[in-house]
Structure 1
Amino acid sequence: MSVITDYIAEQPAAQQAQLHRVYSLLKQALPAATEAMGYGMPVFKQPTALIYFAANKKHIGIYPTSEGMNYFATELTPYVTTKGSWHLDYDQELPAKLIVAMAKHRLSVVTGA
């Protein structure tokens, strides 16, 4: 197990399936990234933070930094967002392509690749 799968296992059972899906998408999009915890949330780093996610009571929060939020502002208009986070209700279908695109974008910004 990893620190992220340990984190997911500590969440309510009803939330775990969606959290595992987000984790799987990010792991596939960022295969060389280090998995860690930061600010009490799972984070993928390479070498610095790329993207965080977290279980909240009613939604999964995706935290791609304010840069990521600004870059994907148009694509995020159908969703609840804040300056630095994107909210996905547990009962909604995950927008897998957008999650992957966001993760890969953050990797390119941080690494310059």
Structure 2
Amino acid sequence: MGTVDDYLAGLEPADRAAIERVYAVARAEVPEAEQGTGYGMPALVYRGKPLISVMRTRKHIGLYPFSPAAVEAVADAVREVPETGLDKGTVRFQPMHPLPDDLVRALVAARKAQIDG
């Protein structure tokens, strides 16, 4: 098991399913990403840098691409999804209103492009 798997094992089923789905989309987009940590959070790591982390908070699920620019790249699409929100470097959503796979792919691709520089 890795850090992401360990984190997922401790979640409630609805939260786990929503978070696993985001990680699955990210892994499909960047298959060479590995489990690790970023700023103390379980994360997928690409080329030694954190790619994304997805975590349950008290009020929402937060998707953290470790980049305000990556969030800005998908901001318009996020605003179209019910029960979502944006903050600098964070996309917030609820398990009953998951982020569309295309949006997650775009966010991950934007972060990967930054890492690739």
After TM superposition, is the score higher than 0.5?
yes
TM-score range, shorter chain: 0.7 to 0.9
Whole-Å separation in 2 of the counterparts to 1:74 and 1:19: 22
The TM-score normalised by the length of structure 2 is 0.83
The TM-score normalised by the length of structure 1 is 0.85
Where do residues 1-113 of structure 1 align in structure 2 (5 Å cutoff)? 1-47=1-47, 48-64=49-65, 65-78=67-80, 79-112=84-117
- Give the aligned residue type for 1:88: F
Deviations 1:47-88 (A, max 9, x none): 212222111233211112211112222222233111110011
CA contact (8 A) 1:46 1:111 kept: no
Q: Secondary structure at the match of 1:72?
A: helix
Deviation at 1:30, TM superposition (A): 1.2
Query: In the comparison of the two structures, how many residue pairs are matched?
Result: 112
| RMSD, aligned CA | 1.7
CA contact (8 A) 1:58 1:90 kept: no
CA contact (8 A) 1:88 1:94 kept: yes
Residue identity over aligned pairs, in percent, reads: 29
CA contact (8 A) 1:29 1:100 kept: yes
Q: Segments of 4+ in structure 1 off by > 4 A?
A: none
- Give the aligned residue type for 2:51: L
Deviation at 1:4, TM superposition (A): 0.6
